[in-house]
Amino acid sequence: MSAKLKNPLTRLNVRQQLILLFLVLVSPVFLLNWYANTKAEQILKEHVTSAYEELNKQNHFLINRDIDTVSRLMTTIIQNSMTQSMISNEQDAQFDRVVKYREMNTLLGNNTVGLFEGEAIYFFLFVYDPNNNYQFAPSVPDINRQINGSSVFFYSDQTKTPWIEEALKAKGKGVLSIIDNFGPRGNQRTLAYLRTVNSITNGRSVVGVLVATKMDKKTEESFSTVSLPEGGEMYLTDWSDRILASTTSEMGKIMKLPPELDMDSLEETISSVYEESIYVVHTKYSLKQKLVYKIPTKSLLQQQSALKQVIQTISIVYSLFAIVVMMYFWRSLMNPLRKLAMFARSHEPGKPLSSSPTKERNDEVGVLIYSVHNMANRINDMIHDQYFMEIKQKESQLQLLYQQINPHLLYNTLESIYWKSSLEGNTGSAEMIKELSKLMRISLSRGRELITIEEELEHATAYTSLQQKRYEYGFTIKWDISDEVRNYWIPKITLQPLIENAIIHGVINMGEDGEIIVTARSDDDNVVITVEDNGYKETDHDAINRLIVNEPSDGASGYGIRNVNKRIQLHFGNVYGLRYEARETEGTRVTVIIPKRTGEHYKEAQ
């Protein structure tokens, strides 16, 4: 026979199966979202970025046009006769040098180009002066021309800066360079456009370097004409990706571009998606420049999210539908089963059910719930029947025990009266008979099996009074009873056998030195009663404790205390009863532990 195929879902519980069903229902939604996002990114790369590529190209053209404007202005300044006359000439008088210096400052100041927000492009001329002929001129430039309005400075081979050397290497071509050490404290930074000023009459002679400062501000002015999506950034970099100008404060830093945008082409526009941003780059190899747009894909996706919103709406509606279906099945199936499981875990056999079972639904779940509750009711009925049978059996045992105790007590009492009458005559007989009547009255207790500790103490007091009258040298007995415990219930004739043992086996031959102490106190939910004597005989307390629990081999020894222990356990349970132990000095102590019970407890139980 072929093996029967097993359903793998049977290895899962109902909750896990419902969760698996929910995942199966919503998985297509997540796959659809993933597919839509992928396609949206492709559309963004193929269509949307093409517009920014063209915009980048035009923007780069405008920036270079502005630079060309500055370059043409610089050409005019370079060709000016005043500029050409600044070439180093030791034959000039000091006065002539001062005049040329002043007129050159005026020329450069007249060509200042205004920018937005009060900014301006200032021109500075750094004249090559190897012989230090212009000692009177300031040596520290300021890009804002705030130091005496000076625009003309002088340098020698010893004071030549790296950016001056960079301009000289270009041999007249314009160069964009970041100058970090402008200013009186060397802390001013600017993007400068540099050109070497060559002598017109002698092309090999160098007049100096003409500098146009704040080209970064000019470039940012061009950036402001372009509107990118929210979070978009623009950067003008050199060929090594060093930022020359940007819409952020990152001039001079190296920009991290995607690896695929590492280009060596003369002029090209290319785009790439990298680290949640779209990079659009236009290059000009001849100028060693790159114009970079960095646009967050999130902002572009927001502009191209029509399709995505439709898909998301469908996904949300579908997910809500799946959740509603799952909630319906959860409430219809799982909640009743969970309640049934909680009932099965918490129900105690014999405990009445909070409500009778009703068949509210006709499916398998309703049949199961109804059957489980009916089964619990049947088990409760069986437990109650068994409980009442055990109660009847215990009552019969108790009645038998009381019938065995009362003749024994009556015999001892009559014997005491006999010996008392023989030794002293009849003078004390009436008093002893009175105590005996107390014993008989409390022992009968109108058929009650449990009496208050107050009544039990009255019974024990009557018994000890009779015993004290029996002996010529009577012992002493002390009662230390807490008022808190007097109204709790105890099986009747509990203390008398314990006091009797303390007398017979402890203080009977000690006369007035014999002492018995009876105490009763509250201990949490229990009442602890102790009966202790100061007897001097050696006692095997472990043997007594074993005798309390086990049936004696001779059938007679220890019957009284074993009877007391058994009656306590029949009424209250096996965790309660008697315990014998030695006192700290000498003698024996027996401890009785019973629960705190009153008449109200038994009314509630009934």
What domain range includes position 179?
Answer: 80-218
- CA atoms of 157 and 141, how far apart (whole Å): 18
- Judge if 183 and 266 occupy the same domain: no
Q: What is the mean pLDDT of the chain?
A: 78
Residue 1's pLDDT is 42
CATH number at residue 493: 3.30.565.10
* Identity of residue 515: E
What's residue 467's pLDDT? 79
Q: How many of the other CB atoms lie within 10 Å of CB of 386? A: 11
Residue 443 lies in a domain: no
Rg (CA), the chain: 57
Closest CA to 301 of 61, 118, 38: 38
Same domain, 240 and 171: no
Domain edge (last residue) among 162, 193, 218: 218
Residue 580 lies in a domain: yes
Whether 115 and 231 share a structural domain: no
- Which tens digit of pLDDT belongs to each residue from 316-342? 787 788 778 777 777 777 777 777 777
Polymer length in residues for the chain: 606
Reported as type and span, the H/E element at residue 283 is: strand 277-284
Q: Kindly state whether residues 149 and 259 are assigned to the same domain.
A: no
In terms of domains, do 213 and 244 share one? Answer: no
Helix (H) or strand (E) holding 365: helix 364-424
What pLDDT does residue 512 have?
Answer: 84
List the one residue out of 580, 604, 600 whose CA is nearest residue 592. Answer: 580
Where a domain ends, among 218, 249, 269? 218
Q: Which residues make Cβ contacts (< 8 Å) with residue 86, sequence separation at least 6? A: 100, 104, 125, 127, 152, 207, 208
Alpha carbons 163 and 177: distance in angstroms, whole number: 7
Give the per-residue pLDDT at 255: 87
Beta-strand ranges (E) seen in 353-509 are 450-452, 476-481, 489-491
Give the model's pLDDT for residue 487.
92
Provide the phi-psi class of 189: left if phi over 0, else alpha when psi is between -120 and 50, else beta: beta
Q: Which parts of the chain register pLDDT below 70? A: 1-7, 9-15, 37, 40-41, 44-46, 48, 117, 139-140, 142-149, 183-187, 203, 263-266, 300-308, 311, 345-365, 396-447, 470-473, 551-558, 600-606
* Total domains present in the chain: 3
Q: Which residues contact 47 (CB under 8 A, 6 or more apart)?
A: none
What's residue 374's pLDDT? 78
Residue of 323, 331, 333, 332 whose CA lies nearest to 26: 323
Cβ atoms < 10 Å from Cβ of 139: 12
Selection from 31, 556, 64, 57 nearest residue 311 by Cα: 31
β-pairing, 489-491 vs 233-238, is unpaired
Distance CA 163, CA 126 (A): 11
* Nearest-angstrom CA–CA distance, 528 and 60: 100
Q: Provide the pLDDT for residue 606.
A: 44
27 within domain boundaries? no
Could you say which of 269, 298, 327 is where a domain stops? 298
Q: Is 352 helix (H, G, I), strand (E, B) or coil?
A: coil
